[in-house]
Amino acid sequence: MVPGTRRASAATRLGVGVELLYAIDRPLEGGEAIDRSGRMTVDMAEATLEEFARLSEERSRLAQAQGRLILDQAASWVRAAGVETVRERLVFGGLVDNLRDHEVDARLIVVGKRGEAENQAAAHLGSNLERVVRASHHPVLIVPPEQRPLRRFVVAYDGGPSSTKVIDILTQEPLLLDAECHLLMVSAADAEHRSRLAAATARLRDAGYSVNEVLTPGQADKVILATVRDTDADLLVMGAYGHARIRTLIIGSTTTALLRASMVPVLVVR
Amino acid sequence: MVFSQSRAEWFGNSRGDLLSGLVVALALIPEAIAFSIIAGVDPKVGLYASFSIAVIIAFTGGRPGMISAATGAMALLMVSLVKEHGLQYLFATTIVTGVLQVIAGVLKLGRVMRFVSRSVMTGFVNALAILIFLAQLPELRDVSWQTYPMVAAGLAIIYLFPRVTKAIPSPLVCIVVLTIVSVALGLDLRTVKDMGELPSSLPMFLIPNIPFNLETLGIILPYAVPLAVVGLLESLLTASIVDDLTDTKSDKSRECAGQGIANIATGFLGGMAGCAMIGQSVINVKSGGRGRLSALVAGTVLIVLVVGLGDAVGRIPMPALVAVMIMVSIGTFSWASIKNLRTHPLSSSIAMLATVIVVVATHNLALGVLLGVLLSGIFFAWKISQIFQVQSTISDDGRVRTYQVHGQVFFASADAFGDAFDLQEALDRVVIDVRHAHFWDISAIAALDKVVLKFRREGATVELIGMNDASATIVDRLAIHDKVDGLDLVPGH
């Protein structure tokens, strides 16, 4: 589900183990079982249940075997990249619901930008991605299929609660410490914004980062993408979904727009 | 999450839901008409109810993929209300039923359902099947001879047509064919039109035309309470069946409240109270329905068809409906339960049969379930009281006897507990080891008190050991032997 080496490099930096989670989203009972005769049969509930069980048994077994294979392959990649503790976890149900149950003791969640059907619509996000980001309480790293070493990263900072959380996480976790940080704030260059940005810069520098301050006015998603491109950054770090869901529904979300457009990995902090 | 989850609940299976909703709508029409006739109201009342309940519960229910509408179980409970007080009182009762169900949902009373055992549930569906069948008999009495071959032909179509194709509902084929035959041949048969008014428009909001006073409430409540109970019972039973079939979970409290809301609205729209339908829900799942959309489609298609085809619906001959209802009763009855009578424990068979007998005798599903629950409880208490044993050992010098009590001590086993001690024996000291026992109620405590006091009167010192915490709590609260000058006599406690 995830390019193993990327995951592994994050893990070695954090000094933690990796848990590989593969969720078998159970499909509906097969088409061949469908009976539209509308007839009530003798002991229909039991009979129907047995029929369904018979039909889904074989399918579940195959799905499990497939899931195991995928996990084993991923685990061998992760191990090859130098991570010692690798746990495999095969579960039934939606990825998002399972993630919520499994993420309790996780420090970072890594997902691929797009799944199996990635080539179908290049600008679309994977079906799980946005839901994972919304559901997770931990930082989520979204990786595109292409790999690149991490030298520089851009932090999109707006002074709001979720981007303050970004700074908190960066100061707590050693993940990005040896990369060069560009702290970007998209807003008018007034005194208040300047002082907020300076405060965040100070916190990061205290934590040992080498920080480059950038304050640019403009439309958030465009400026952020341009900065990533201009600085040749390898990673974008940002807070996620700072606005109410209803506002997001109507005018769209900067987070989703960035996730979609970014060509580099994105680390999203909620 | 809530949003995306409900989006999946609505549109996660759109194609399957649309088709299955269509199948269910077609299956619902004859049932809604037949249940109206059982309740003694115009077909319009059941059809409006089925429309509004199915559509509203699609939004408010807690079990996507389940079909709710006007049902036989509910119709059977309102017969005498309609006969004695009329339609307006039925609407008001429907509203009150809904209010009670919303309260049950808010208080999470769905959990009380666990006291309704499987045997009682089986008895419930069997009784329901029998009552639906019995309700068809009046349609077969004092009718023209053509009725009988028509019913037989209808049943033949319903059961044999699926061998030709399972793509279209066979009950619908039965109705269409019999209607065409009866109209073409001009047969002397009663039709749906003869049974009362059919809907000619969408339902309209109305406030029941009844006096709003305590007297009215006194009439309504005795009907609304069993309606609410039976409605929730059948809905929660159906929900767990759908849970099993689809291997997913449902929100039972939301289902209770959702059904209440649907019933309240239905009362104001001139419909009768309803609940989830076991048969239709299984048909829905079997036809590929999983999401909320299926119930919405079923309700909408139903009303569109009935209003649009009003004239044709009126011409449906009663024998066609009778055939469909016979199929419904055969499908609802748990035939396996007859076979199981031989293999299941006698106590569960008795609970099941008692439920059936009481329901068939009283035509009140709530009473039967109540009796079944009581019987199950008594049988359970009796069984648990068997898990009780007292062993004893005497010391070498014959002065100290240690009793070891195992199992559950409560009202049903208290006598056995009292009898287990030998009071004739003269002892210095008696040790009662209750490490493996549990004292549940005041009967158990009274029995323990009696034993301790009797030994003391015989001059023995009594020592109680190993009261576990739960037992100790109830002993501390209720027992007298260690409070009234008994402390020095029960060391170690």
As for the ipTM of the complex, it is: 0.71
- Put simply, whether A38 touches B (Cβ < 8 Å) is yes
Contacts of B1 in chain A (CB under 8 A): 96, 131, 134-135
- Put simply, whether A76 touches B (Cβ < 8 Å) is no
Nearest partner of A186 among A159, A166, A210, judged by Cα: A159
Q: Alpha-carbon distance A18 to A75, whole Å?
A: 9
Q: Using an 8 Å Cβ cutoff, are B441 and B410 in contact?
A: yes
Q: Using an 8 Å Cβ cutoff, are B71 and B279 in contact?
A: no
Structure confidence at residue A126 (pLDDT): 56
Residues 6+ apart with CB under 8 A from A193: A159, A185, A187, A215
User: H or E stretch including B163?
Assistant: helix B147-164
Residue A216, SS3 per DSSP: strand
Strand order in the sheet with B461-465: B388-394, B400-409, B429-439, B461-465
The one-digit pLDDT tens for each residue of chain A (270 residues) are: 343 344 556 666 666 778 888 877 765 445 456 778 877 777 878 888 888 888 878 888 888 888 899 889 888 888 888 888 888 888 877 777 777 777 667 778 888 876 555 454 444 555 567 777 777 778 888 888 777 788 889 988 887 777 788 888 888 887 788 888 998 888 887 888 888 888 889 998 888 888 888 888 888 888 888 888 888 888 988 887 665 555 555 555 777 778 778 888 888 887
B174: pLDDT strictly greater than 70 = yes
What does DSSP assign to residue B165? -
Q: Which whole-number Å values give the CA distances from B77 to B83, B131, B326, B482, in the listed order? A: 12, 11, 20, 54
- List beta partners, residue B437: B407
Least confident of A248-257, B259-268, B402-411: A248-257
- Nearest by CB: A40 against B23, B161, B331: B331
A34 with B168: Cβ contact below 8 A = no
B492 — pLDDT class (breaks 50, 70, 90): very low
pLDDT tens digits, one per residue of B242-262: 998 888 888 999 999 999 999
Q: Which whole-number Å values give the CA distances from B331 to A38, B324, B336, B467, in the listed order? A: 11, 10, 12, 53
B325: pLDDT strictly greater than 50 = yes
- Put simply, whether A42 touches B (Cβ < 8 Å) is yes
Q: Alpha-carbon distance A224 to A171, whole Å?
A: 22
> Tokens representing B324?
């469909």
Q: Across all residues in chain B, what is the average pLDDT?
A: 89
Structure confidence at residue B485 (pLDDT): 45
Structure confidence at residue B154 (pLDDT): 95
B161 with A36: Cβ contact below 8 A = no
Contacts of B282 in chain A (CB under 8 A): 40, 44-45, 48
pLDDT tens digits, one per residue of A209-229: 888 888 888 888 888 888 888
Structure confidence at residue B326 (pLDDT): 94
| pTM, 2 dp | 0.74
B4: pLDDT strictly greater than 70 = no
B32: pLDDT strictly greater than 90 = yes
Nearest partner of B232 among B197, B199, B196, B259, judged by Cα: B259
Structure confidence at residue B96 (pLDDT): 96
Structure confidence at residue B35 (pLDDT): 94
